[in-house]
Amino acid sequence: VKKGQIWMVDFKAFQTPGVDLDYFRESRKHFNIDEWIDLLVSSCQFNPDVHRLSQKLLLLSRIIPLVEPRVNLTELAPKGTGKSFVFDNISRYAAVIPGGKLSAPALFFNSNTKQIGLIPRYDVVVVDEIQKIHTDASGEAMAALKMYLESGRYRRATGDMGTSESGFVMLGNITLGSNRLPLYESDGIFKELPAALQESAFIDRIHGLIEGWFMPRVSRNTPSKSLGFKGDFFSEVLHELRVDLRYADYVSQSLHLPQCEDMRDNKAISRLAEGFLKLLFPDLELSEEEFITYCVNPAVRMRQQIRDELSKIDQEFKWVTIKSQIPDEFQLSHPDERPDPEEEAKKVDPLAPDRIPEEKTLDLVEGQKGISFEKLFLPYVKGAKSIKICDPYIRLQYQIYNLMSFCEILDPSEATLKVDLVTACDAYQETELRGKLEELKKGLSPDHIEFNYVFDNNLHDRWIETDTGWRIILGRGLDIFQKPEDKFTLGFLDQTKRKCKATTITYTRVKAAS
């Protein structure tokens, strides 16, 4: 070998040249259903140990369009739940479009550049951040998209028709209420999306809705720590399974929806169930009960969400309840008649200030809105004559404002209400902090609130305790809100318009003071 030359003496392909589907199917027999689901979740690069079974099935429903042709899905969720992660990372057959302009040339065919669009080239096209997209004023893009979602056909520039087997997925961020459910659930959760995406004729062509609001926010524990299929191998398996017709035959013979008359509902549930079947039972070794439990019922739920939204936004869509041969809890609890929007609005908010206090644990998610000290604490401090607050981080100006906001919800009436604060303070800050707390003490006195404070630098726990027998354990103390972007941002004064930090609050009964 001459100097400067490099000779290759051996070569091993890094990418998988092909997959043996028969071997893959045969391997399924060595796992029970729970082990197999965990393996698939881990192969999607998510940690199965931090997700419940229902959440694991939601995760796997994301990849149904990769394994089943022409499946159209929408996932709506708060930010940070990893909606687009799986499409960005496990398959080269998926194209992700960030929020922006949605045009027919980009999706189907550009007659100016003579370039084929995304839908004819990929197994699935994913539109992310759909709450930010806009379409052409002529409506050409939405008309072409509706035709494709219904028939799988699109019109080329030459005028003739093209076909594709690509799935279509839309991912969007929505706002959750204080109950961690969509804020506009009674009016329709598509309300936060652009007007073009709220049309009932368009929504009806979406096969299923993924309830992303039930997914936890991505954290350092979210990435998989377990073994899973290699990414390129898993991608090829999903791609190859798309064309296998045995699963369609199984579904056509085994799927029975006795009360489901709508053709689109039947088609949607059939495709979704076939997708779950390919993922969970690729060897087709399963019982009728397993097929209904793991394939049909999740598919029914996804389509039922679409039907419910259609009935909320368009009175032409009658209210229906879809049930399988073995209905699950969701199907059995689904109302048989359309809920009255006015009656729905009257339902008690689980965080209503006038609710009856009860022992419970409340998890706030990052970015959640609709929360206030009044909603969190008023039912538990009402009627108290003495309240003790332990929080080592009442030091900075905004933290003192938090304490003052808490005191604002108190109603001592004519009797004096004692509020005792235990906090911590560095020696160099003590003089300044004492001055601020003395000002607060003076300001509360005219309102019959007797405020006192002590410093305990060994303090770590954060809680509120009342003489009426309640202890509220605060994961972050009173510091539960994100910092407003500026003083003119909505939420600077109204806490319900501010975003929360992720935290846990536990309400427990303790012995009332004598």
Query: What is the arithmetic mean of pLDDT over 49-62?
Result: 95
The residues near 206 (Cβ < 8 Å, ≥ 6 apart) are 72, 73, 74, 149, 170, 306
- Residue 37's domain spans which residues? 21-244
Q: What is the CATH number of the domain that holds 484?
A: 3.30.870.30
226-230, 354-358, 391-395: range with lowest mean pLDDT: 354-358
- Mark which of 244, 264, 283 sits at the end of a domain: 244
- Mark which of 244, 274, 306 sits at the end of a domain: 244
72-81, 104-113, 126-135, 350-359: range with lowest mean pLDDT: 350-359
pLDDT tens digit sequence for 34-46: 999 999 999 999 9
pLDDT tens digit sequence for 442-453: 999 988 999 999
151 occurs within a structural domain: yes
- Quickly state the pLDDT bin for 360 (edges 50, 70, 90): confident
Number of domains in the chain: 2
355 occurs within a structural domain: no
88-97, 122-131, 237-246, 356-365: range with lowest mean pLDDT: 356-365
pLDDT tens digit sequence for 115-154: 899 999 999 999 999 988 888 878 889 999 999 999 999 9
**212 residue type, one letter:** G
Query: What is the arithmetic mean of pLDDT over 458-473?
Result: 93
pLDDT at site 63? 98
pLDDT at site 349? 53
Share of the chain above pLDDT 70, in %: 92
Q: In sequence order, what DSSP letters do the residues of 351-398 get, joined into one string?
A: T-TTSPP--EEEEEPTT--S--HHHHHHHHHTT-SEEEEE-TT--SHH
- Quickly state the pLDDT bin for 348 (edges 50, 70, 90): very low
504 occurs within a structural domain: yes
For residue 353, pLDDT over 80 is answered with: no
Residues 226, 366 within the same domain = no
307 occurs within a structural domain: no
CA separation for the pair 223, 67 (Å, rounded): 22
Residues 159, 25 within the same domain = yes
Which carries the bigger pLDDT value, residue 221 or residue 167? 167
23-32, 114-123, 256-265, 349-358: range with lowest mean pLDDT: 349-358
Phi/psi class of residue 178: alpha, beta or left (left: φ > 0; alpha: ψ in -120 to 50)?
Answer: alpha
- Quickly state the pLDDT bin for 513 (edges 50, 70, 90): very low
CB 192 within 8 A of CB 184: yes
Q: What is the CATH number of the domain that holds 47?
A: 3.40.50.300
CA separation for the pair 230, 140 (Å, rounded): 41
Query: What is the arithmetic mean of pLDDT over 373-390?
Result: 92
CA separation for the pair 421, 22 (Å, rounded): 68
